[in-house]
Amino acid sequence: MPEPEARQAPGLARALVADLHDLAVDLAVGGYTRTTLAMLERDLHRCAPSALGATITLDRGPHHVHVQAHLVARVLQPDEVCSALRIPLPMSDRAVDASITLYAAAECAFVDLAADLADDLGVTLDLATALPDRPIEPGIQGLTDFTTVNIALGHLLNRGRTLPQARDELARLAQQRNTDVARAARLLLDSS
């Protein structure tokens, strides 16, 4: 039975909590997240003893920067990870495509969990989840690009664009320069 230990600093969560502080998240929400991360860490090990951690990915479409929260206690090298399982997470906000990818050191570590999720809970899984091909660093990935894009959007808003128009303009600039929206945002800010 899961018994969250809210006051115990969870190893996997430490780096993420620091990033959440940087996210200027309300402190109470940060505390909640620490609790839920502690739950996640313990229950992940319960489901797969060789578990190394997980990544939560938030994807809001091509005009948005992907944000990934890597819940790992240390940098994971690709050759350490022998199993991965991506589980889509239903969100009430349909604009957000969220998923969690679990990592483990043992091969086939998530076979039982995958069966339980699929058979008992009817969850549709990505059974061919690719193993990571680059190191996974603790914390939130994509925040710098995310902020750059948002600040550029703010500049465009001040120049009379609506938010959708500003996003379209950044996307067009990225396409014209054959780059991504984050670099396009940087170009726009540099020219301001």
Partner 1 sequence: MGSAGRGSVAIAELRGQLHGLARRLHEDISLDGSGGVGATLLVEGRPVFGGSNGFTEAVDEVQYRLEQGPCLAAVASGRVVRSRTIGDGERRWALFTADAAPLGLRSVASLPVRVADRVVGSLNLYGQHAASLDGASTPVLRRASATAGRGMTAAWLLAVAEANARILTDAVRDREDIDIAVGLLMDRYVMTSGSARVLIAQLAAQDDVSKAAAARSLTHSDAAPPSASVSRAAHDRA
Residues between 126 and 185 that touch partner 1 (CB under 8 A): 143, 146-147, 150-155, 157-159, 162-163
With contacts defined by CB under 8 A, how many residues of the chain interact with partner 1? 62
The set of long-range contacts for 124-128, using a CB threshold of 8 Å and a minimum separation of 24, is 124/88, 125/85, 125/86, 125/87, 125/88, 126/85, 126/86, 126/87, 126/88, 126/99
Helix (H, G, I), strand (E, B) or coil at 95: coil
Which residues is 100 bridged to in the sheet?
56, 87
Beta carbons within 8 Å of 15's beta carbon, 6+ residues apart? 70, 72, 138, 139
Confirm or reject binding of residue 37 to partner 1 (CB under 8 A): yes
Confirm or reject binding of residue 46 to partner 1 (CB under 8 A): yes
Out of 144, 175, 179, 192, the only residue in the binding site for partner 1 (CB under 8 A) is: 192
Q: How far is the CB of 181 from partner 1 (least distance, A)?
A: 13
Given the rule CB under 8 A, which residues bind partner 1?
1-4, 6, 20, 23-26, 28-29, 31-33, 35-37, 39-40, 43-44, 46-47, 54, 56, 58, 67, 69, 87, 89-93, 96, 98, 100, 112-113, 116-117, 119-123, 143, 146-147, 150-155, 157-159, 162-163, 192
